[in-house]
A and B are shown apart, each in its own frame.
Chain A
Amino acid sequence: MKIFVINNDGAGFADHVDIEPGTTVDQLFQRQVSDPKPGNYLIRVNRLPATRDQLIQEGDRVSFTPRKIEGA
């Protein structure tokens, strides 16, 4: 099924990806983000806070934003 994934780490990435039905937020995170700790990120599904074991549905919009971003 197709979903929209946003990774705001580094330069930022936003695009549609295909995932298997039954994929959880945590599983998607492990696949999309190099950091192994989901706690270091703000995770939103359809612009709302999500839990790690939340199942992703067709057409969902999932975003990962790092909590720690250092300014200059």
Chain B
Amino acid sequence: MDKIVRRCIRAAVVICDQLHRTPTQPKIPPVPLDLWTNFTQAASRTELARRQKWLIAESVCEQQLRTNALRLRESLFDFCQQRVDTSPPVVLGELIADLQALDGEFDDSSIDLRGQTIQVTTELIELECLELGRFEIVLSYDQLSDCTTPYRVLALDPYLAHEDGCPHPHVQSEQLCAGEGQQAIRTALEQGRLLDFFLLVRQVLRNYNPDSAYTRLDQWHGVDCRDCGDRVEGDDVSGCEPCGAQLCRDCVISCEDCCQYCCDGCSHGCTDCEQVHCHGCLKACRECKQSFCESCLNSEHKPGVCDACCEKEKTEACQEPAEPPQRQPTTQAEATHATTVEVHTLRVGQAVLPA
């Protein structure tokens, strides 16, 4: 017999045994026989109490009969609702056929009898023009009954992985996040449809869901700086803390006061000292409304007002016209005029008053 066929048979025997040991949903849901027994016994007691005219006992038995009837009804309703598992039992011949068919679907497949694994190699996976390399899907068939995900996905070309080690948008730490395929994969394993299992995993690897990926493809090899557009990778990527924009080291700005990193849009220079600050560290002058940092804004004389406005106020205060001083007469004529101003008019005690 072919060596490969022998390996397939030996692996299939172990798998068949594993799957038969796995507790699966019963073919037919359990019938509530105990509840039926309780109900019929309660009916007999009620009938006996009625015949004997034991009124109190009859009342109690009727209550018990009613309770048992309700429980039986609920249980029969659940019985009718339960899904009957109609999937065929795992057959050794089908397992062997599945294992033999792997060669036709995958670039490479092999069975490790000692490690009790089956592995297949995919073609080179390419998503949105980005080559991710080949992947190996390794099924540990000795864990089929114990583990919910008895398989791993290994990257065979790790140099194509993202810098954080993520080899595929939906693979992390050798675990595939199967998403839409999760239930179908689980069902295929439970039913021993190994070929379907490997096909399903491969189809997940062949597709990309940008809304739910460990690492997005547009960030696979660095990101574009939001401000200058240069490609930036790894530790050279900085983030604007207020808005989250990704920037290169040349474009990122550190606020002079709080030191947080900002982009050009989230920062501004102080009108006075011109040093760059984040918007949170700039305040508007109460007078001129321009933006200033804290040290340039709070004048000694007037908080919330910039130095320029304070100076301007002082200057304006100095320029206000004062009351003109009394001028002393400098000539005789002026002095005479000053002394001949009438105090009294024509009559003593009377003076001409203006209208």
A15 to B212, CA, bound (A): 33
Residues in B whose Cβ lies below 8 Å from that of A33: none
Given the known inter-chain contacts A12-B184, A15-B88, please indicate yes or no for A69 contacting B203, CB distance below 8 A: yes
Contact of A6 with B199 at beta-carbon distance under 8 Å, contacts A12-B183, A72-B170, A72-B179 already known: no
Q: Is the interface of B mostly helix, strand, loop or mixed?
A: helix
Query: What class of interface size applies to chain B in its complex with A?
Result: 20 to 34
Complex: A70 Cα to B207 Cα, angstroms: 6
Which chain A residue has the least Cβ–Cβ distance from B210? A70
Per-residue CB contact flags for chain A residues 22-62 toward chain B (1 = under 8 Å, else 0) read: 00000000000000000000100001100000000000000
Report chain A residues within 8 Å CB of B178.
Answer: 69, 71-72
What A residues does B177 contact at CB under 8 A? Answer: 71-72
Name B177-233 residues within 8 Å CB distance of A: 177-181, 183-184, 187-188, 191, 193, 195-196, 199-200, 203-209, 212-213
A47 touches B212 (CB 8 A): no
Residues of B close to A9: CB separation below 8 A: 184
Tell me the bound Cα distance from A59 to B100 in angstroms: 19
**Inter-chain contacts of A12 with B (CB < 8 A):** 183-184, 187-188, 196
Question: Which B positions have Cβ atoms within 8 angstroms of A?
Answer: 86-88, 97-98, 101, 104, 169-170, 176-181, 183-184, 187-188, 191, 193, 195-196, 199-200, 203-209, 212-213
Sample of 26 A–B contacts (CB below 8 Å): A6-B196, A8-B196, A8-B200, A11-B183, A11-B187, A12-B184, A14-B187, A14-B191, A16-B88, A47-B97, A47-B98, A47-B195, A48-B101, A63-B196, A65-B200, A68-B207, A69-B203, A70-B204, A70-B212, A71-B176, A71-B178, A71-B204, A71-B205, A71-B209, A72-B177, A72-B212
